[in-house]
């Protein structure tokens, strides 16, 4: 039987004000150890001020095979962009 520890995805906030960004993954028996391993593996040079670890099994991802059908509905809605609208010459603050 495999005794392999579960996989965790690691997200790091580089500086206050930025969002957490995915940096990689690691194996750990539980969340506490995963946090410690993430600190040791991914922040040896002060790369972050905050770490999230998420069980890889808990992530649901969209499928790359379906990406056209999945994202298509947004493609024909140009009116969601401000550049769609003509603004008369001389009108400011719009």
- Total of chain residues touching another protein, rule CB under 8 A: 20
Q: Which of residues 46-65 bind another protein (CB under 8 A)?
A: 61, 63-65
List C-alpha distances in Å: 94 to 71, 77, 78, 82: 30, 21, 18, 10
Q: Which two tokens stand for residue 52?
A: 């999230």
Beta carbon of residue 24, minimum distance to another protein (angstroms, whole number): 5
DSSP helix, strand, coil percent of the chain (3-state; round to 5): 35, 20, 45
According to CB under 8 A, which one of 44, 77, 81, 93 is a site residue for another protein? 44
Applying CB under 8 A, the residues found at the interface with another protein are: 2-5, 7, 24-27, 29-30, 33, 40-41, 44-45, 61, 63-65
């Amino acid at each position: 039987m495999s005794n392999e520890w579960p996989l965790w995805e690691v997200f790091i906030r580089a500086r206050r004000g930025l969002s957490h960004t995915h940096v990689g993954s690691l194996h750990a028996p539980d969340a506490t150890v995963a946090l410690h391993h993430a600190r040791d593996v991914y922040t040896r040079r002060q790369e972050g001020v905050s770490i999230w670890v998420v069980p890889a099994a808990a992530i649901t991802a969209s499928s790359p095979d379906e990406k056209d059908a999945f994202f298509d509905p947004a493609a024909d809605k140009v009116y969601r962009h401000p550049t769609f609208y003509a603004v008369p010459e001389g009108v400011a603050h719009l």
